[in-house]
Chain A
Amino acid sequence: MILSEINFAVLVASLIVASTPLVLAALGELVVEKSGVLNLGVEGMMIIGAVTGFIVGVETGSAYIGMMAAAMAGALLSLLFAFIILIMQANQVASGLALTIFGLGIAALMGHPYTGIKSPQISTLSIPFISEIPVLGTMFFQHDLIVYLSLISVLVIWYFLNRMRAGLILRSVGEDHDVAHSLGYRVVTIRFLAITFGGAMAGVGGGYLSLVRVPQWTEGMTAGAGWIALALVVFSGWRPFRLLIGSYIFGGITILQLNLQAIGVNINIALLSMAPYLATILALVVISMSRFRGNRGAPGCLGRSFVKIT
């Protein structure tokens, strides 16, 4: 059986690595959308994160410093978006698209001298004892810090949104900004913070791509990951845990089909490459169709400009 050539434990471990950029970027966007802002610039912020993270990583020799720089770069770019849509009250869809195009262009320019260089290594943090467990240890407990952080952030963001007052306020702003304003909440400030957080998360996601996942810089290396992240947010029904599942399905099938291609399975390559996208959509549609009725999906004010009525 040809499939036996694939080591299952290693497969799972690499799917987690492959999915982590998605998890990070999508989580950030989830928070942004929960505050009522649609930022279509995820792809742009990711690639800016990727190139900045890579450059700083190479220059300092530390992948972690690179990762931090990636977060800052993503956040910085998102501030531009925040300014345009919150202060200038421009259309969110158009501004987000522009952000992506801008990010892709400037990343290509910045990264040009760094093409083909190898990035500094990031060390794996094997968790004592449990990483020794056969199979399971290899799958889950021999990863780098960022992977663990991404998983913790799923938990933290869920807790923040559903169990904390600040999260409730953020959701209220996203559901109905006029009401939130009339209660005395500062819609613009809250959205500014959310957008910046989303930018930082997308930046880290990008940084993880160029510093760990690939790891090197090539132009346009995000290859639509930002768009997948956006789609995951919607299909997950704005829920962190479903988002994690969705990301792992996508990452998993990506890895699986690469492995299948590598061992030369007799399936058309076009079909194999298509598989992750199809499977993700299918899985998430099924999830949102069945059991979870009463699913209150999109935030009420998603994508709408807040105009203060005086």
Chain B
Amino acid sequence: MNNKIENTLFQCRAINKEFGNVRANNDISINVRSSQIHALLGENGAGKSTLVKIIYGLLQPDSGSMTFLNEEYSPKSPKDARALGVGMVFQHFSLFEPLTAFENILVGLDKELGEKELHASVIMLSESYGLEVNLSSFIGDLSAGERQRVEIIRALIQKPKLLIMDEPTSVLTPFECESLFKTLKKLASEGTSILYISHKLKEIADLCDTASVLRKGAIVGEYDPKKMTPRELGEIMVGQSLFEPKRPVAANKSNKVLSVKINEVKPDTQFGVTLKNIDLAVFQSEILGIGGVAGNGQEELMQVLTGEKKDRNVSIKYMDNDIEMLNPRERREIGLAFAPEERLGHAAVGNLNLLENSLITDPNKRFQMKMGFIDFSELNEYTNEIVEKFNVKTTGVSALASSLSGGNLQKFVVGREIGQKPSLFIVNQPTWGVDALSAANIRQAIVDIANTGAAIILISQDLDEILEISNKVAFLTNGNLSIPTNTMDIKTDEIGAIMGGISD
């Protein structure tokens, strides 16, 4: 124990922070030792982000103290933090999309560096840590993984002693995660400590030396993730036992709900993927899981299924009707529901409140009284039910959608779509950025509507999720969809082979 304290790089003691009546951080003390990957584990809203914002100087604590390198540490701004050797990689990337990768790195520096000099050090960093990035490309054109590499380079270029990573894997593909972990392990072995925020339990067991668990703004304890199962850690994190949703009992093979045939669909943008040779069908009470690494046509397939993109080379049959020429609204009217991946701006309108967001996606005018007046009591009831059932953390149904955290908005979106009692529900990344307990809830809700007769297409990059609740699985590679097979019959190493060779 003494030995541990001697190695302390960063310490915070009795940090308190309140927002209004909410105690985001309650007497938090942690110790980060040098050359360690220290996990900060907790559900959405447990206070992790608040704590790291305090460490990075974005927020000031109400009380409490911090030491860094055995000296008093109280950064007034991120600039102070960076100057002292604390770097941070944000969950929602703090990058400027219209600027190039190089400009983004430049703008994150505190001192002026010569362009050549900077180029050289960026190239050196990217080579020694496997962080490949094309510096002249615009951020808007880069994948999530590439964007993250830009952020990591930007942080590393200032040679931090403590690197904070806020949910770095929430947007990464499994392959990208692996290369990120290699980078982080290498950094730690060279003396950089990493404060690693996550609610993904498996990766913490893989990666981290220590885990501090936060619940409702307070520290629950410090644990050794290597000596615990993810499940045990998860139960500490949520403070109750976790359940695992079971896949729907049986598909009703006599009732085909949807069949899709695509010869070829060209993308709208040069960065898009061409969909080819897709042939899928989904039956009543069946979940069809579509896996694959991001950027292999998920987005494009979703657009074809929702009707955002209509194409002559597509044939979509929904309960014996050809619907390929119907627009999204018309599809919703006949019993389809969709939850696209991008929550803000696609699945929900940020500047409208939750009530309004429920209203505009309702195809059947059930919140409409005569003469076009809105039935607010019905709407209120419906929206409140979603918030309650899916444990959406919000100040109320009249809160703007943009004021919700990503995970909470995701719960709302899925809840809203399921509440329409669709016959066919198509969802892309339903539990992206959602904490363990809520993710289990969402999956259970999807299984529940499947059990009452709905057909589900579940597109997800989370392989575990797909294998857990789908009856059938297929994988997207480069715009091609593999032949759907029964989940029971598939072996994990086969999946690797199907998806193999597609990782960038």
Contact = CB atoms under 8 A, between A and B. Distances in A.
Q: Name, among B19, B58, B96, B112, the residue most crowded by chain A CB atoms within 10 Å (CB to CB).
A: B96
A168 B58 contact: no
A122 B96 CA distance: 45
A134 interface: no
B94 interface: yes
Given A175-B98, A296-B98, A182 B90 contact: yes
B78 interface: yes
Interface string B4-36: 000000000000000100000000000000000
Nearest to B58: A182
A172 B82 contact: no
28 contacts: A165-B107, A165-B112, A168-B99, A168-B106, A168-B107, A169-B107, A171-B96, A171-B99, A172-B96, A172-B107, A175-B98, A176-B96, A176-B97, A179-B94, A180-B96, A182-B58, A182-B90, A182-B94, A183-B78, A184-B57, A184-B58, A184-B78, A184-B79, A184-B82, A296-B98, A296-B138, A300-B97, A310-B19
Is chain A's binding surface mostly helix, strand, loop or mixed?
helix
A286 to B, nearest CB: 23
B95 interface: yes
Contacts, number: 44
Given A184-B78, A184-B79, A310-B19, A179 B96 contact: yes
A306 to B, nearest CB: 15
Contacts of A179: 94-96
Nearest to B60: A310
- List 4 A-B pairs, minimum CB-CB distance, nearest first: A184-B78, A184-B79, A179-B94, A296-B98
A179 B57 CA distance: 14
B271 to A, nearest CB: 12
Contact of B97 (A175, A182, A310): A175
A169 B19 CA distance: 30
Contacts of B97: 175-176, 300
B78 A168 contact: no
Contacts of B299: none
Interface in B60-91: 77-79, 82, 90
B78 A182 contact: yes
Interface string B122-151: 000000000000000010000000000000
A89 B219 CA distance: 37
B106 A165 contact: yes
Interface in B338-361: none
B245 to A, nearest CB: 35
B59 interface: yes
The range of chain B's interface size is 20 to 34
A183 B81 CA distance: 10
B57 A310 contact: no
Contacts of A169: 107
Contacts of B108: 183
Given A168-B107, A172-B107, A183 B94 contact: yes
Given A175-B98, A179-B94, A179-B96, 11 more contacts: A165-B112, A172-B96, A172-B99, A172-B107, A182-B58, A183-B78, A184-B58, A184-B77, A184-B82, A296-B98, A300-B97
Contacts of B138: 296
B103 interface: yes
Contacts of B79: 184
B384 to A, nearest CB: 26
Contacts of A165: 106-107, 112
Contacts of A175: 96-99
Contacts of B19: 310
Interface in A161-189: 165, 168-169, 171-172, 175-176, 179-180, 182-184
A175 B140 CA distance: 12
B400 to A, nearest CB: 12
Contacts of B78: 182-184
A310 B25 CA distance: 13
A300 B98 contact: yes
A162 to B, nearest CB: 10
Contacts of B96: 171-172, 175-176, 179-180, 300
Nearest to B115: A163
Contacts of B59: 310
Nearest to B103: A168
Interface in B391-433: none
Nearest to A299: B98
A118 B381 CA distance: 72
A310 B94 CA distance: 16
Contacts of A172: 96, 99, 107
Nearest to B154: A183
A179 B91 CA distance: 12
A220 B84 CA distance: 56
Contacts of B77: 184
A183 to B, nearest CB: 6
